[in-house]
């Protein structure tokens, strides 16, 4: 459900049912940052996306949360098997004032930039790079790639029950590819849906153990 509300309502007074989305229009960058600060101070658990004055606040369902967490486990398992470094930044807030854009991925990783970001407790996109890989599970909401384009995230995976896509940032826009630059030698486009389904039927831990055995 998407509704419009005045931005004068305190964030703590907004009650969202799981799976609900509230859209707030005409939000300035300063108001957006104030909302982020209020949310942190109040300990409010929501997901936020902002683009050129429009703010979306979402309360995820378990059906939204589980797939991206499973995919995150798969990513770190594959990277470990390959002996590659990674840093998990989860749903950290990424924002660029110059582009009037900000969002919180469902899950994201620094891989190529893992060493550079290892000691970061707070992200400043004036000096810090975007995450190398972001993962979205669009079960309850529609991912807006426009915001990812503004943030210039190199690779975005989008998982739904109907489709899994690999979106690669090329010449200022996303191109849907069948191979992943992060894992160029693996059939990721087929592997991820198969492993997510296996996790739901057999359990995540069993799926990951079998994956390690097969890849070793």
Residue 70 has a pLDDT of: 97
Q: Using 50, 70 and 90 to split pLDDT, how confident is the model at 16?
A: low
Instruction: Report residue 31 CA to chain centroid gap.
Output: 23
Q: Which two tokens stand for residue 138?
A: 């669009």
Cβ pair 169, 154 in contact under 8 A: yes
What does 103-166 look like in DSSP terms, one character per residue? E--SEEEESTTHHHHTT-SS--TTTSPPPSEEEEETTSS---HHHHHHHT-SEEEEE-SS-EEE
Taken in order of first residue, the domains within the chain and their CATH numbers are: 11-58 (no CATH), 62-215 (3.90.1570)
Beta bridge partners of 135: 107, 157
Give the span between the Cα atoms of 191 and 186, in whole angstroms: 8
Beta bridge partners of 107: 135
User: What is the residue whose two structure tokens read 């975007």?
Assistant: 130
Give mean pLDDT, residues 202-211: 98
Report the length, in residues, of the chain: 216
Per-residue pLDDT tens for 166-181?
Answer: 999 999 999 999 999 9
Residue 148 clears pLDDT 80, i.e. is over it: yes
Residue 58 has a pLDDT of: 83
Residue 6 clears pLDDT 80, i.e. is over it: no
Cβ pair 167, 176 in contact under 8 A: yes
Q: Which of 154, 158, 126 is nearest to 141 (CA)?
A: 158
Cβ pair 176, 189 in contact under 8 A: no
Exposed, middle or buried, 98 (CB in 10 Å: 0-12/13-18/19+)?
Answer: exposed
Q: Which two tokens stand for residue 27?
A: 């939000």
């Amino acid at each position: 459900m998407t509704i419009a509300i005045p931005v004068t309502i305190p964030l703590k007074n907004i009650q969202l049912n799981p799976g609900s989305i509230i859209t707030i229009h005409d939000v300035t960058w300063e108001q957006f940052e104030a909302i982020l600060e209020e949310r942190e101070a109040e300990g409010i658990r929501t997901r936020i996306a902002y683009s050129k004055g429009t703010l979306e606040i979402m309360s995820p369902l378990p059906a939204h949360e589980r797939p991206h967490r499973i995919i995150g486990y798969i990513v770190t398992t594959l990277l470990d098997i390959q002996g590659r470094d990674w840093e998990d930044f989860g749903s950290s807030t990424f924002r660029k004032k110059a582009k009037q854009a900000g969002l919180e991925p469902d899950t994201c990783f620094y891989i190529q930039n893992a060493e550079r970001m290892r000691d970061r407790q707070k992200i400043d996109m004036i000096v810090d790079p975007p995450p190398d890989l972001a993962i979205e599970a669009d079960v309850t909401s529609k991912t807006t790639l426009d915001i990812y384009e503004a943030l210039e995230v190199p690779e975005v995976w989008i998982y739904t029950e109907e489709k899994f896509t690999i979106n690669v940032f090329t010449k200022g826009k996303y191109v849907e590819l069948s191979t992943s630059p992060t894992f160029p030698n693996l059939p990721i486009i087929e592997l991820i849906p198969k492993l997510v389904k296996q996790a739901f039927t057999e359990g995540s831990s069993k799926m990951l153990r079998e994956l390690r055995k097969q890849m070793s």
